[in-house]
Every structure is written in C-alpha cells, then in structure tokens.
Structure 1
Amino acid sequence: MSVSKTILRLHPAIRDDIGDLVTRRPVPNRALNNIGAFLFLNHHGPQTYAPNNRGLPFGPHPHRGFETVTFILEGDLAHRDSGGHESIIHAGGVQWMTAGSGLVHEEVSPGAFKRSGGPMEILQLWVNLPARLKMTKPAYTGVQADQIPTITSENATVHLVSGKYQGATGAINSLTGVFMTWIELQPGGRIIFDGLKDRDVFCYVVRGDVAINGVDVAKWNLVEFAEGDLVDIEAVGASLVLFGHAEPIREPIVAHGPFVMNTPQEIHQAYADYQAGKFG
C-alpha cells in the first residue's frame, strides 16, 4: 500500500529582481541548498513588457556540469549557443540544454517581442548531472507547445516534458531519467503521482493555491518532502504546478557561479577552460 510523502517544510520564493525583471527564487535559500538533483529555480515574472523594451538581460554566459530546463509560460524566448543551436520558443514551449563539458549561451527576447512587448513569465530549473556525465557532449532541444504531449483528466492537464505518464512519453529524452511536467488545474482538479520512493521530488506552486498531501500550499512556495511513495495535488483554485522527480545523485556538489562540479579543482578547471576559449 502506498504511503503519502511527508511534507517537511514549505520554502517561500525569495524576491530577487534582476534589473526590471521580476524574479523569485525558492531554491537555493538559507535553509535549503538543493532538492537532491534539482539545484536552482528562477521564476521570472509574471509581468508585462511595454513596447520598445530592452527584453531579457541574459546575454552570453557559460555553463558546465548540469542541465538547464526553461519553461516559457508566457512570451517568447530566443536561445543561441556556442554549439550552433538556435531557436525561438513561444508560450507553452520548453528549452532543455545539456551544458555538459561546456557551452556559452544566451537567452534573450526576440526582436518582435522587444518591439511589441506583452506578457512574460518564465521558469528556469537547473538539474544536476552525475560525475560520469558532467563532461558529456553539450546538447540542446527546443520544443514548442504543440510538441509536448498533454494528458487531460477532469479539471487537470499534465504537460509531459520528459518521462512517461499514463502510456504517454514526454517530448524530451532525459539523459538521467528525469520526469518533468507542469500541471494546470481548475478548482477541484486533482492529480496523484505514485512510485516516488527513493526519488528526489520537485514541486513548486507557480500560480493559485493547492492542497498537497492534505497541506495547503499557496503560490510561490516550494515543497520539501521526506519519506513516502505518493504525492496528491488538489487545486483549491485555478492553479499551475511545476512537478518533477529524479534519481538521487549521491555525490558532492560544488557550485560556483555558472558551473556545478564535484570538487573545487574541477571548478578552477572550468574557469580556466572557459577563459582559454574551450567552450566555443
């Protein structure tokens, strides 16, 4: 018989704007460095950009040792990197980048968005890679909303980014078997995920209010779970929840700036390689 996962704590997202970009960050925070393999989340927006705006401020910068998963809930996002990947992803789409051995990339607003403006809301999640994959070949996949399978039940829609759910397979094949979704819920909508024993579970309420395993969770809160197999999410009002799970990576995490490795020496090497132009 499945047992509901115990909720240890709720972690409210901390407001940490980047210039005029509204930004909230639930992890890391003073009490929590990471949720297992899930290292970092920035929640940008929601906000509305005026016409003739400067757009997003994320010009060229490097990464090594992990993956970025970017959910474009509203607006448009242009990606370009030193591996030759380039795309513009619209609302409802996802960008999944494996930094691996090293990439320089930029995530900016496309010209049409800067000219016209409009609503913008974006989530970026960092997912760790194990030591055996930290120096893997960099890769990038951008998928539009209509490429992401949706599974709809009464008052609930699961957008299946990666992994398997009710016979469907996600749009992106994760190197490490990460299951990742976002879930839209109408009042009374309910979703149950089972089989989560010994998995790192990431659950962040983006919009609305929900009850998770019987505990009320308001928007902009991250849930930290303990033991158990099952997560039961029920909407109090119209809600959106970012939900995923991953196999634990039981290795040291040494993070500095844009690099996430296992030792300080590997961090020093990452900076040296980037400065030597080895990221392309």
Structure 2
Amino acid sequence: MTRKIVKQYKAYRDDIRDLQTRRPVPGPELEQLDPFLFLNHHGPQVYAPDNLGLPFGPHPHRGFETVTFILRGELAHSDTGGHESIIGTGGVQWMTAGSGLIHSELSPEAFKRHGGELEILQLWVNLPSRLKMTAPGYMGLQVQDIPQIPLSKGNGAISLISGSVAGVTGPIKSLTDVTLMTVQMSAGSEVTLHAPAARQVFLYTVKGRLKIDDMPAQAWHLIELDDSDDRVTISATDDATFLFGHADKINEPVVSHGPFVMNTVQEINQAILDYQAGKFDVKL
C-alpha cells in the first residue's frame, strides 16, 4: 500500500509583467492545502540581454514563511532584517516573515545586463498562531550547501532542504518540522518517499509526467494525496522534476490579505496599521 491520488489541480497561468507565472494554489478549486498556502511557478523562460529582471521590489510579509527554489537563473534578496544574498541555480532561500519583514526579490545587475534562463518556485508555508509573531529570519543556500541523495542506479537525485531522508538531514531546521525537497528523476525510474499518514503531503509536478501508485500525474499540477499510508511511490514517465514535502496540519482559521496571513480580521488590520506606521524595521 502507498498513498493514492485524490485530485489534481492545474497551475493556471497568471503572468506578472513579462514573467511567465503559473499558480496551482490558491486556485478556483483549492484555497490551501494546510499548512501550504501558495505556490508560484515562474518560468521556465529565457530573458534577453538588457531586460528588466524580476518585478518583486520592496513589499511586506507577516505571519508565515516563504521558501524560494531557484531552479535556473539567479535571485538577489534583501530585507529589513539586514539579510542580503544572491542565490544561483540550484539554491534555495528560506525566509521567516514572522512578526514582519519588508523584502525585495530582484534580478542581479549582471542577469539584467546579459539575460539568461530563469525558473523559480516560491512556496508559502503557514505558521500557527503561537509563531505568527516570531522574530523574522532568513537563510540563503547555494547549491553546494544542499545535500544531494542519489536515487538507485544513478536515475536522479533528491535535493534535501529540510527534514531527513535515508539518514541525511537537510540544512534548514524548520520551526514547524516541515520537510521539503526537490526530486529529479530519469524516465522509467521509481522512488518511494516516506510521508507519515497523519501529515499533509505537498507534491507539485515541475516538469514531466509521473505515476503515483500507477495513477498518472500530470505536469504543472498540484497533486493531492490521500492519507492511506506512510509512503508515496512515484515513477517517472518522462525525465521529471517535482517539489515534495510534508508537514503537520495547523487546523486554525486562515485570514489572508495580500502579503499578510493571520488568524483573524483584527490581526490583519493590525498588520496593515503596523506596516503603515513603519514598524517592520524599514531599512531598505
């Protein structure tokens, strides 16, 4: 027995300026997959020389965490906690907005000047009420900082960000014990991943077609699984890449307003007032 597909949610197109963007959640049929709130899939695309780069200038967040996977290209990060980095292909940045940060996610000047390939995933992970006002934090990982766990017979690899797989522990220690990884597989290969039945699985097909317990899973879809087992068996019909993780459900009210995610309308209103009053430690 392994987990089975309950439903598949297509990532619908919602471009931002000239940035090709697909989003499976929130969407017309799925508001969230507790505690996973939001996923943007930017690209894949190629930017020409002398481009404008990414459009994500200074903007605030409160009440959750963002995990950004730079599959191709580069991303320059800066925030009001004093964190700055340029993360390249294969790297990840994990930001805890907590009580409030203002950050920018832009293309480095060299990328805007020369252009190049770009593909980025950004996932929002909710925080429970007890942690929504936790101190903000940030960790940027380059590809060499991320453990690579090879699949059998050289048929791909797991890039482990948080949690443990096969005795290997990822470099991020999540506040809420979230496990996250990306997996690359060759066509015809198979992997079985551990995912405790009580936890919510997040599985998004970035590239290629998969089968889960012999049921087809389409590319550019969020795959909702049942809770019938502690394992997920995945085979690749094509050369494939997918985002995989699992976490405990929070089971609390979710009230979101743009970049703020809290438990009540009153808390959202307070976040707006705090931001307008300059209480997000504005240094940009």
Q: TM-score, normalising length from structure 1?
A: 0.98
> For 1:6 and 1:252, how far apart are their aligned partners in 2?
27
> For 1:6 and 1:160, how far apart are their aligned partners in 2?
23
CA contact (8 A) 2:203 2:243 kept: yes
Residue 6 of structure 1: how far off its partner (Å) = 2.9
The match for 1:94 is 92
CA contact (8 A) 1:208 1:238 kept: yes
The match for 1:177 is 177
CA contact (8 A) 2:4 2:212 kept: no
Range that drifts further, 28-37 or 67-76: 28-37
Residue 149 of structure 1: how far off its partner (Å) = 0.3
- The residue identity in structure 2 corresponding to 1:215 is M
CA RMSD between the two structures: 0.8
Listed as ranges, the gaps of 5+ residues in structure 1 are none
> For 1:64 and 1:131, how far apart are their aligned partners in 2?
12
CA contact (8 A) 1:202 1:243 kept: yes
Number of equivalent positions = 278
Q: Residues 181-260 of structure 1 correspond to what in structure 2 (within 5 A)?
A: 181-229=181-229, 230-260=231-261
Residue 227 of structure 1: how far off its partner (Å) = 2.2
CA contact (8 A) 2:195 2:201 kept: no
> For 2:46 and 2:238, how far apart are their aligned partners in 1?
23
CA contact (8 A) 1:7 1:226 kept: yes
**1:153 corresponds to 2:154:** no
Secondary structure, counterpart of 2:271 in structure 1: helix
Secondary structure, counterpart of 1:273 in structure 2: helix
Q: Residues 91-130 of structure 1 correspond to what in structure 2 (within 5 A)?
A: 91-130=89-128
Q: Residues 54-93 of structure 1 correspond to what in structure 2 (within 5 A)?
A: 54-93=52-91
Alignment deviations for residues 46-85 of structure 1 (CA, whole Å, 9 cap, x no partner): 0000001000000000000000000000000000000000
Residue 43 of structure 1: how far off its partner (Å) = 0.2
Residue 194 of structure 1: how far off its partner (Å) = 2.7
Secondary structure, counterpart of 1:146 in structure 2: helix
CA contact (8 A) 1:191 1:233 kept: yes
Q: Residues 122-141 of structure 1 correspond to what in structure 2 (within 5 A)?
A: 122-141=120-139
CA contact (8 A) 1:196 1:228 kept: no
CA contact (8 A) 2:209 2:238 kept: yes
Alignment deviations for residues 118-157 of structure 1 (CA, whole Å, 9 cap, x no partner): 0000000000000000000000000000100010022130
CA contact (8 A) 1:156 1:191 kept: no
The match for 1:270 is 271
- The residue identity in structure 2 corresponding to 1:227 is D
Secondary structure, counterpart of 1:269 in structure 2: helix
CA contact (8 A) 1:156 1:190 kept: no
Range that drifts further, 229-238 or 109-118: 229-238
Secondary structure, counterpart of 1:8 in structure 2: strand
Residue 195 of structure 1: how far off its partner (Å) = 4.2
Secondary structure, counterpart of 1:187 in structure 2: coil
CA contact (8 A) 2:195 2:232 kept: no
> For 1:9 and 1:195, how far apart are their aligned partners in 2?
18
The runs of at least 4 consecutive aligned structure 1 residues that moved more than 3 Å come to: none
Secondary structure, counterpart of 1:119 in structure 2: strand
> For 1:208 and 1:6, how far apart are their aligned partners in 2?
19
Range that drifts further, 226-235 or 238-247: 226-235
CA contact (8 A) 2:195 2:246 kept: no
